[in-house]
Amino acid sequence: MPLTKEQQIIADFYETAGAAIKGHLIDIIDGPLVHNFILQPTPGAKAITIIKAVYENNYIYSYGNQQIIVQIPKETRQTIFLENLLKSKEFKNTDATLPIILGTDTFGNITIKDLREIPHVLVAGRTGSGKSVFLNCVLKSLKTAMPDSECKFIILDPKGVDYDIWKSDKHLMCPIVKLDAKLAVQKLREVSELIKERHQKLQDRKVKNIEEYKKKTNKKDMPYVVVVIDEFADLMTVARKEVESCVQYIAQKSRAVGVHLIIGTQHYDGKTLPGIIKANLPTRIAFHTRTSAESKQILGERGAENLLPCADMLFSDAGRAPIRIHTAYTEC
């Protein structure tokens, strides 16, 4: 009897991995982009040996409950539309203050995070891997969940091509900065001044953070502010020291006053992203990279080199083990 497509995939994996696979297949669960092959190692088998075989075959894995889930790309993949996720009960009923949709996990379950809990985010990966589409998904999530009186956007777009749909949106705090890295640096200075002014307001009211301020004053003069920078490397070439200083200050001082920073870049070497900036951006998102060394530059470990070329990422919060997420599609 001929093997099914799924059986053939796992048979090929076992054949190429050889004796390293000491375990048995207990389930196959289809997701939108990958097959999830759930392996149960045999008693005494070392998980690291199986994991090594997974890497050598250019696949991605997750590990938990004494099981290894090998994620193998499907031949026919489903497109995940942001508009459908925005209508989901999970998003409508979320209790997150600043809910953002990351996409779905490998099983197709929607993944939502609260930007208040992951206040500053680094988004990196090779050109065309889906970074700008993802950043637009983040903004659309916030626009859907928050009125413009409660959440404002500052968009710095040195490339000048991916954010035109926002140019007339009421959520914008100021016009989009396009094709002008020097003006973008000036906006970072203004954001730093805004943070100082807000801290003074908190001090005057004797409160610790924006939530306490809103509750005590019942005012709407301090909306949340989300600053998106895409492409960060362009700013570093114009005013490296000043950009470093501004980003460090924003990342260290802004959470209490409701200002959040999301940086996108296709250049993530030590020159573009020095350690002082990385240290202040503990939440990392890696899209497809060319090599495992590039993955390590973003996440501190390999894995992103085995992602699908587009709309596929690894999410790591504060150094935790990366979670694979398939990002949604939306018109930019």
Q: What string of DSSP letters covers 278-308?
A: HHT--EEEE---SSHHHHHHHHSSS-GGGS-
Distance spanning both ends of the chain, measured CA to CA: 48
Comparing 4-18, 42-56, 257-271, which segment has the lowest mean pLDDT?
A: 4-18
Tell me if 33 is assigned to some domain.
yes
pLDDT of residue 293: 93
Instruction: Record the pTM.
Output: 0.91
pLDDT digits (tens, 9 = 90+) for 215-272: 999 999 999 999 999 989 888 888 888 999 999 999 999 999 999 999 999 988 888 8
65 with 194, same domain: the answer is: no
Q: Which residues contact 159 (CB under 8 A, 6 or more apart)?
A: 178, 179, 230, 231, 234
Q: Which of 70-74, 207-211, 292-296 has the lowest mean pLDDT?
A: 70-74
How many independent structural domains does the chain possess?
A: 2
Q: Which of 21, 43, 73 lies at the terminal end of a domain, its last residue? A: 73
Q: Are residues 46 and 107 in the same domain?
A: no
1 — pLDDT class (breaks 50, 70, 90): low
Find the CATH number of the domain harbouring 146: 3.40.50.300
139: confidence class by pLDDT, cuts 50, 70, 90: very high
Range of the domain at 30: 5-73
Beta strands in the chain (DSSP E): 23-30, 34-41, 60-64, 67-73, 99-104, 110-114, 120-124, 151-157, 177-178, 224-230, 259-265, 283-286, 312-317, 323-326
The CB density around residue 280, as the number of other CB atoms within 10 Å, is: 17
Q: Judge if 274 and 189 occupy the same domain.
A: yes
Q: Are residues 63 and 32 located together in one domain of the fold?
A: yes
The answer to whether residue 29 is domain-embedded is yes
What are 244's two structure tokens? 């470093």
Structural domain includes residue 96: yes
Task: State which of 73, 103, 119 marks the end of a domain.
Answer: 73
What percent of the chain clears pLDDT 70, i.e. is strictly above it?
A: 91
> Which of residues 273 and 201 earns the better pLDDT score?
201
